[in-house]
Structure 1
Amino acid sequence: MSTIVRTLRNLRRVGFKDAAHQMQNIGDTKAGTLIGTDRFGNKYFENMTEELPLRTRWVDYKEAEYDASHIEPGWHAWISYLVDAPPYADKIMQTGLRPWEPRDHRANPTQSRAAFKTYSTTRPKISAWTPTAAPR
C-alpha cells in the first residue's frame, strides 16, 4: 500500500488509464521503466530508485486471469533476481535455445479438474470399519 503523495506522483507519471489498470490488477500504483515484453504480451518493469529492496521488478500481465505459469522461464529468472540481465540481453536465457524448454504454453492445472491426483496400486493393509446399527 502506498501513501497518497506517492500515488498522486505515480498517477502523474503513468497517466490515469495505466494507474486505474494498476489499481485494478495489483492494488498499487507503480512507475518504472519498461524492460521488455514476452511472447504472451506480459510487460516487465523495473524501478531501482523509489521501490523497496526486492520489490523493484514487477510484471503487468496481459490477461486478467493470470497465474505464475504465464511467465517464461527466462523472465521468471530475471523477476526473481536470479540473473541481473533480462532474457533478451543474455544469450543463454533467450527463449528457444534450450531443448528442454516447451515451445508452447502449458497452463498450471492446480485447483482444477486436470490436477494431478495420486493413487495407489497396492492393497491397503488396514481395512476400513463400517459400523452397522442394530435394529431396535
Structure 2
Amino acid sequence: MKTFLTEFFTWWNGQTMGTRFWTWRKGELVGEDEQGNRYYRQRNGDRRWVIYNGLAEASRIPPGWHSWMHYRVDEPPGDYKPREWEKPHEPNLTGTPRAYRPPGSILHRDPRTPARPDYEPWSPEG
C-alpha cells in the first residue's frame, strides 16, 4: 500500500504510476548502473529514460549512461570502471544545510566583518 501511495503522489522518488504503465507498455530494459538506476528505451528506439533508485537527481547518472541518455552513443555502456582520478558521486547539496557557503557569504557561519576589506583601493596621491 505504501508503494502505491508513493508512486501515486510523488514524482521525485522513483517512478510514478504513469511512468510504470508507460514502461510496462512500451519500454525495454537496457541496463542498470552501480547505484541501482534502471535505463529503458522505447521498443522502436525513439525515447530513452531512467528510473532512479530513490530520489530523482540527474547528477546521479554516471558518465557512460549520460552519453547514452543524450544520444551521443548508440550502444549502452558495458561494465563501467571509473578511472583512478575520478571522484565518487556527491549529491547536489544546494538548498540544504550542508550546502557550500564560501567565506564572505552572509550565510557563512563566520561572516567577515565589513571593517576589513579584501583590497586596498587605489588613490592618485600614491
* TM-score normalised per structure 2: 0.58
**Cα distance in 1 between the residues matched to 2:42 and 2:76:** 14
- Say if 1:113 and 1:105 are closer, same or farther in 2 by CA, change over 3 A: same
- The match for 2:124 is none
Aligned equivalent of 1:101, options 61, 64, 86: 86
Corresponding position: 1:84 with 2:74: yes
Aligned-pair distance for 1:107? 1.2
Residue identity over aligned pairs, in percent, reads 33
2-side partners of 1:22 and 1:66: how far apart? Answer: 9
Q: Which residue of 1 aligns with 2:95?
A: 111
Secondary structure of the residue aligned to 1:44 is strand
Q: What CA deviation, in whole Å up to 9, does each residue of 1:24-78 have, x standing for no partner?
A: 4758723211110001111100115275xxxx10001111x22112211211111
**Match of 2:117, as an amino acid?**
R
Partner in structure 2 of residue 123 of structure 1: 117
**Partner residue, 1:29:** 22
Distance (Å, rounded) in 1 between the aligned partners of 2:117 and 2:77: 50
Look up the SS of the partner of 1:59 in the other structure: strand
1:42 to 33, 37, 56: 37
User: Any unmatched runs of 5+ in structure 2?
Assistant: 1-6, 9-13, 105-111, 120-126
Q: Which runs of 5+ in 1 are unaligned?
A: 1-18, 126-136
**Out of 58, 65, 75, which is 2:49 matched to?**
58
Higher RCO structure (Cα 8 Å, ≥6 apart): 2
User: When the two structures are superposed, what TM-score results if normalisation uses the length of structure 1?
Assistant: 0.55
RMSD: 3.3
